[in-house]
Amino acid sequence: MAKKWKGKNLKRSFWLDTKVKWKRLNHDLHNVIGFYSLFIGLIFAITGLAFAFPDFKKTYIATFNLLQSPTASSTHSSPIPLPPVEKKFQDNALRYALTNYPDAEMMSIRLKKETETAMDIQVRHHEKRSGVFDWLYYNKEDSSLTAVKSSNELQYGDKLGALNYDIHTGGIGGLTTKIIACLASLFCASLPITGYIIWMNKSKKKKKKGYQHNVNKYC
């Protein structure tokens, strides 16, 4: 029968008593670490599955998108023509992005087939934050900027998908969340070890009881 979750049992789930014997300490350590790292461990598991399985990521993005109505991108009423400073359209598009986002720490161009008329540039405002960006959409035919999509305009699911790397690595809140993520990873990694020690101690205890029962039987 499971022990009632109150009194000492409740306290041992939140706090360690270092004065107890090592077996009791290991048991309490397993409970306390498991309790405090459960939520972060679940986040690691979900974001890790999103990395490994594209279909899972699509499902979880679509699920969270249901919580918010879609937001339209900032489409310009009339396309903004790009100044023909350079010979190539790609260079003019990149120059426009550099001029209008001077504080951007990273930019990337989404390459497409030569036959396609659209071209996209992602402006990353923080080099180490993959989920904070603006997408610039260009049209090659008239050499213009047609729309801008900010990460702030994304639905909940799309925003979580864009922030998946930041959440999984702990970089979403800077150094503080990275330290928390690192410690939580170590805590989660220790659970199989402390759990195995608990199981091993219980197995030894059962064998000892069985041996004593047999001795008493034949005495």
Supply the pLDDT for residue 2: 46
Res 29 pLDDT > 60 = yes
| Whole-angstrom distance, CA of residue 47 vs CA of residue 172 | 13
Ordered by start, the domain boundaries in the chain are 8-62+172-210, 72-153
* Chain segment 48-87, per-residue pLDDT in tens: 999 899 999 999 999 999 988 776 555 566 788 998 888 8
Residue 219 token pair: 């005495």
0.75 exceeded by pTM = no
Res 156 pLDDT > 50 = yes
Average confidence (pLDDT) over 158-183: 90
Q: Residues 144, 89, 151, 162: is their CA dihedral positive or negative?
A: positive
Separation in Å, CA 88 to CA 117, 143, 154: 14, 10, 31
| Whole-angstrom distance, CA of residue 40 vs CA of residue 45 | 9
